[in-house]
Amino acid sequence: MRALVLHAPADTNLLGVSDFLTASEWAQILGSINGVQGHFEPIPPKVAEDAMPPGLGRELAETCLYQSEFGYDGGDPISCCRRM
């Protein structure tokens, strides 16, 4: 990893993770950090749009839909997110 970071071309995008978590796992972790019980509940995109400032709800909803369909890295076959 060090060689990749130090010697990769300037326009190289790196995305490094040790594991992927589901939305439910994220909610549980964030809840435990904040001393509350957390859970994930999917909502329709329109509900997110109506609950947030103009543009933000739609952007977040579309991001979630994209990640649900294509994955966090968009299905890039050379992404470092792909498990070897």
Cβ–Cβ < 8 Å for 62, 52: no
Going by pLDDT thresholds of 50, 70 and 90, the confidence category of residue 31 is very high
Residue 44 CA to its chain's centroid (Å):
18
Higher pLDDT, residue 61 or 78:
61
pLDDT at 84: 39
Going by pLDDT thresholds of 50, 70 and 90, the confidence category of residue 83 is very low
Higher pLDDT, residue 44 or 17:
44
Question: How many whole angstroms separate alpha carbon 74 and alpha carbon 66?
Answer: 8
Average pLDDT, the chain: 79
